[in-house]
């Protein structure tokens, strides 16, 4: 499996922050394992390690948002990748509530807000499928990407 780990370091992916809320408690984590799933119905897929604090919340069906970061938001990515915990992750950036009351990042390139409609457990991860309920566009594509174990920008 070390070869797989090395191969995946070659796969550049956009950096997002997945957010959710349950009983007034907000959760956020940096991720790259997200993908569009279908346009009919419009839906997204996110993969979350079962050790992440928001995994059980998503497992209970909480809605979520996929906040797509731009190249200037490395500080937010670092905060949500483990540098900070809990509510402290929301002290960086301008956060507001979506139509589903899920936290969305004001300066993100885009935020895709989803109702949580299905989940699957596989190995170390929970796989969550969401129907798109709201899309908030924030600017021209200039993504923060993750490749070879580090955050970078598209050349």
pLDDT confidence tier of residue 104, bands split at 50, 70 and 90: very high
Lowest-pLDDT range, 24-38, 57-71, 112-126, 135-149? 135-149
33-49: average pLDDT: 97
Tell whether the model's pLDDT for residue 153 goes beyond 70.
Answer: yes
| pLDDT for the residue 65 | 98
| pLDDT for the residue 132 | 98
pLDDT confidence tier of residue 57, bands split at 50, 70 and 90: very high
Tell whether the model's pLDDT for residue 78 goes beyond 90.
Answer: yes
| pLDDT for the residue 110 | 96
Please report the domains of the chain, with CATH numbers, ordered by start residue.
2-147 (2.30.110.10)
| pLDDT for the residue 130 | 98
Instruction: Please work out, in degrees rounded to the nearest 5, the angle formed at the alpha carbon of residue 90 by the alpha carbons of 89 and 95.
Output: 150
Quickly tell me which residue has 């079962």 as its tokens.
50
| pLDDT for the residue 28 | 97
Please give the Cα distance from 136 to 66 (Å, whole number): 10
Please give the Cα distance from 76 to 86 (Å, whole number): 13
| Separation of first and last alpha carbons in the chain | 30
93-99: average pLDDT: 96
pLDDT confidence tier of residue 82, bands split at 50, 70 and 90: confident
Helix (H, G, I), strand (E, B) or coil at 57: helix
Peptide bond into 41 cis (omega under 30): yes
Please give the Cα distance from 140 to 93 (Å, whole number): 18
24: Cβ–Cβ under 8 A, 6 or more apart, which residues? none
Tell whether the model's pLDDT for residue 148 goes beyond 90.
Answer: no
| pLDDT for the residue 127 | 98
Tens of pLDDT, residues 125-141: 999 999 999 999 987 88
| pLDDT for the residue 155 | 66
């Amino acid at each position: 499996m070390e070869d797989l780990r090395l191969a995946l370091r070659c796969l550049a992916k956009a950096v997002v922050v997945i957010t959710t809320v349950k009983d007034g408690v907000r959760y956020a984590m940096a991720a790259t394992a997200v993908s569009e799933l279908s346009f009919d119905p419009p839906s997204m897929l996110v993969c979350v390690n079962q050790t992440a604090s928001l995994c059980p919340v998503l497992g209970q069906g909480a809605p979520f948002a996929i906040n797509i970061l731009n190249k200037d938001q490395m500080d937010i990515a670092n905060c949500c990748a483990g540098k900070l915990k809990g509510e402290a992750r929301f002290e960086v950036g301008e956060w507001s509530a979506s139509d589903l009351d899920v936290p969305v990042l004001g300066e993100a390139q885009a935020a895709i807000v989803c109702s949580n409609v299905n989940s699957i457990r596989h190995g170390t991860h929970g796989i969550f499928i969401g129907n798109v309920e709201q899309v908030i566009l924030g600017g021209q594509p200039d993504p923060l990407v993750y490749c070879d174990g580090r955050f970078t920008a598209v050349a």
